[in-house]
Structures are given as C-alpha cells and as structure tokens.
Amino acid sequence: MKTRNLAFIAVSIATLIYGLNYTIAKDVMPTYVKPFAFILLRVSGATIVFWIASLFVKSEKIDKSDFKKIFIASFFGIALNMLAFFKGLSLTTPISASVMMVTSPIMVLIFSSILIKKGIEKQKILGVFIGLIGAILLIIYGSSSNNASTNSNWGNFLVFINAASYGLYLVLAKNLIAKYHPITFIKWLYLFGLILVIPFGFNELQEIEWQKIPENIYWSIGFVVVFTTCITYLFNLYGLSKLKPTTVGVFIYLQPVIATMYALFMGSDSLNLVKISSTLLIFLGVYLVTKRTKK
C-alpha cells in the first residue's frame, strides 16, 4: 500500500510539472525557438542526462528482441508524442492543449483492451467519462480568453495525436518497465527518440539566435529540458511500474486544472462557477479510475 501511495505521489508531481509546462513552453515558442528545434534540444538534453545517470546504476543487457519494442515505444512516447505536442502547442492556447490531452486515458483504455486484452470495469469507464465531461466544460465555458487562431483547430488536432500516441506508449512500455531498470529502459528510449527527431529539428535548431534570447527564456528552456522531460518521465515510469496504464493515463485529467490555476496565479485568467464545477468533476473522475474495485 505504501509503494502504491508513493507511485501516486510521483505521478502527481509529474502531472503538476506538465500542467506548468503548457504556459512555460508557450512563452518560448515560436518567438525564440521553433517547436521542432525545441524538441531536439529537449531530447538531446534528456539523452545526455540519462546516459550519464546509467553510469551509476548496475549495467543491464537488453535482449535483442526487446530493442524493436523499445524503438516502437520511443516512436510513440518520444518522437510522435513530443513533435506533435509542441507543434500543436505553438498553434493553439495552453488551456486548449491541456484539455485536448484528457483524451489520452480514453486511448489507454482502447489500446489496453486491444493489445493486452484488458477488461474494463464499469466504474473506470464512468470515471473516464465524468472526468472528460469536466474537462470539456472547462475549455468550452471556463475560458475568459476569446483569442482565436486560424491554425488553432490544426493545433488541437496535433495535440490529440500527441494524446493518442502517449496513451499507446503507456501500454507498450508497461511490460518493458517490469523487465528492466527504469534508467536502463529510458536511456535507450531517448537515444532512439533522438535519432528520430534529429531530421525534424536540425534545420530549426540552426535558425535560433541565441544572443537575442532573454535570460528568463533560458530558464524556461531549462525547465522544459530538466523537469518536463527528465523528472516527469522518471516519475511516470516509476508510477507505471506500480500502477495500471489506465491509472497513470487518467492523471492527464489534472493537467487542465493545473494549467488554469497557473493562469490564475499569473493573472491571465479569472475564476467562475463553471471552472470550479469542472475541477470537481475532473477530480471525481480521477478518484473513480484510481480507486481499486473488488473482483
């Protein structure tokens, strides 16, 4: 029970960081760093960090048959996931992007059912849809911003692709995490991811005018590389090793809540009854999905 609680705490911290990331990353893109260049920086930094970290853990050999599985997990969990998310975020608003991410638990349920023949309890289905209703209410009626972009629909679609990709990654990574040490798994995951994103981000990386970037933007870039990339993936991997993919995926529901709260703290949004009601619905959804059911 204690280990399960630690897993919940780890996933909650990762979710908090993700919630802050929407606004922080949006401040950087596309004015100072274009989306694909940002992803290349993010994945490069994380790859270096995890390979250095691997020097301090016991060496572990990867089965040849698992390299293909890790590569596929990297495609969905690193390359497609991150490229689609940052490109989408650069076109839409942070709150819109955070709410689109709540479709991820739905995808986890679908992929778990298809790939690992996972049964779905009625309580968890109810929790998923209650949380989804709360998130939809939050974005449709809870935003006080009326800014619109001709590319916002495309941006939202890309964030949906990211959410589906992340949901599939959670399912694919479950067995691999149970088999290998988290650092061993994640260093290969990011190395393959780096190979996949280099063709997309190399040209944009060369366009960055480093001397014109303000100091606070450098801090924002550092936050995304260290916290949003390294810390969140480690914490989510730990949570995934102790919890079901569906349970980890449903914490996505908290992201629009955190994104909204951060906007309130920064004075860029206001609170109303719809936002409070949406938040309660989202937390109820998380509770129903994470609560253990009697068999």
**Does residue 275 contact residue 111 with C-beta atoms inside 8 Å?**
no
Q: Torsions phi, psi of 117, nearest 5?
A: 50, 45
pLDDT of residue 123: 80
pTM of the model: 0.76
**Does residue 29 contact residue 16 with C-beta atoms inside 8 Å?**
no
Each residue's pLDDT, cut to its tens digit, for the chain (295 residues) gives: 578 888 888 888 998 898 888 888 888 888 899 999 999 998 999 899 899 989 988 888 888 889 999 999 999 999 999 999 888 888 877 777 777 777 676 777 777 777 766 666 778 778 778 877 876 776 566 544 444 444 666 777 788 888 889 888 888 887 888 788 888 888 999 999 999 999 999 999 999 998 889 999 999 999 998 898 888 878 887 887 788 777 776 777 677 778 877 877 776 556 667 767 777 787 787 777 767 666 5
pLDDT of residue 149: 44
Tokens of 224: 């995304």
pLDDT of residue 73: 92
pLDDT of residue 272: 67
pLDDT of residue 74: 94
**Does residue 45 contact residue 159 with C-beta atoms inside 8 Å?**
no
* Domain residue extents for the chain: 2-124+148-270
Rounded Cα distance, 169 and 80, in Å: 10
